[in-house]
C-alpha cells in the first residue's frame, strides 16, 4: 500500500469548508474528485460508514477509503463504488467537536467531520498522527473527545 487512505470528495463539496483540504498534497493520501458519472475502484478497501461493524486493528491490512460529502450527497458516492469492499464504523461513543448547523435535515448522531473520521480511523488502524488535526479549528476539543471515548 503506497498511501494510508484514499479520500473521495464529491465535486459539490465546498473546498473552503472541507476539513480535509489542508491534507491535499500529503503523500500518504490520494484524493479523488467525484462526479456523478465517476466509478471508484473500492475493491479490497475498508469504507467508513455510520451503520457498519466497528473498525478494529484486524482491518489494518486493507486500504482505507473515506467518502467526503454532505450527508445529503453521500448516497451518490456510495453508488459510485465498485468491487468487493467492507464497511466499518467508528465507535458510537466518539462524538464530533464540529458545530453542526444543517438547515435541511439533521446529521446522524454518529456523524463526524471528515478530518475527525480520518484521524480516528487511522488511529484505530495503528497510524496515530496528530498533525492531521493541525489546521482543524476544533482540534483540542476533538482530541479530548477521543480520549473520553478511549480512541487515544
Q: Tell me the pLDDT tens digit for each residue of 13-64.
A: 766 678 999 999 999 999 999 888 889 999 999 999 988 999 999 999 899 9
pLDDT at 98: 87
pLDDT at 51: 87
What band does 65 get if pLDDT is binned at 50, 70 and 90? Answer: very high
Question: Which grid cell is 144?
Answer: 479530548
What band does 143 get if pLDDT is binned at 50, 70 and 90? Answer: very high
- Answer whether 64's CB lies under 8 Å from 48's CB: yes
Q: 0.85 exceeded by the pTM?
A: yes
E-strand ranges in the chain read 5-10, 29-34, 40-41, 46-48, 64-68, 81-82, 86-88
Please count the other Cβ atoms lying within 10 Å of the Cβ belonging to residue 28.
14
Q: How far apart are CA 38 and CA 61, in angstroms?
A: 26
* HSE-CB of 60 using CA atoms within 13 angstroms: 10
* Alpha helices (runs of H) in 13-89, residue ranges in sequence order: 74-79
Which residue bears the cell 484524493? 31
Q: How far apart are CA 133 and CA 22, in angstroms?
A: 9
What band does 101 get if pLDDT is binned at 50, 70 and 90? Answer: low
Q: How far apart are CA 148 and CA 120, in angstroms?
A: 13
Query: Residue 114 — φ and ψ, nearest 5°?
Result: -60, -45
pLDDT at 16: 67
What band does 116 get if pLDDT is binned at 50, 70 and 90? Answer: very high
Q: How far apart are CA 90 and CA 4, in angstroms?
A: 17
DSSP 3-state of 86? strand
Is residue 10 scored above 90 in pLDDT?
Answer: no
Between these two residues, 104 and 28, which has the higher pLDDT value? 28
Amino acid at each position: 500500500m503506497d498511501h494510508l487512505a484514499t479520500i473521495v470528495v464529491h465535486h459539490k463539496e465546498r473546498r473552503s469548508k472541507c476539513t480535509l483540504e489542508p491534507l491535499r498534497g500529503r503523500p500518504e493520501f490520494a484524493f479523488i474528485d467525484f462526479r456523478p458519472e465517476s466509478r471508484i475502484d473500492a475493491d479490497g478497501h475498508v469504507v467508513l460508514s455510520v451503520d457498519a461493524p466497528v473498525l478494529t486493528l484486524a482491518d489494518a491490512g486493507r486500504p482505507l477509503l473515506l467518502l467526503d460529502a454532505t450527508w445529503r450527497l453521500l448516497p451518490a458516492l456510495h453508488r459510485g463504488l465498485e468491487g468487493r469492499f467492507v464497511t466499518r464504523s467508528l465507535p458510537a461513543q466518539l462524538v464530533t467537536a464540529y458545530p453542526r448547523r444543517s438547515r435541511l435535515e439533521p446529521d446522524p448522531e454518529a456523524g463526524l467531520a471528515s478530518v475527525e473520521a480520518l484521524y480516528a480511523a487511522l488511529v484505530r488502524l495503528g497510524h496515530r498522527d496528530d498533525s492531521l488535526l493541525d489546521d482543524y479549528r476544533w482540534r483540542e476539543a476533538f482530541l479530548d473527545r477521543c480520549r473520553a471515548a478511549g480512541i487515544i
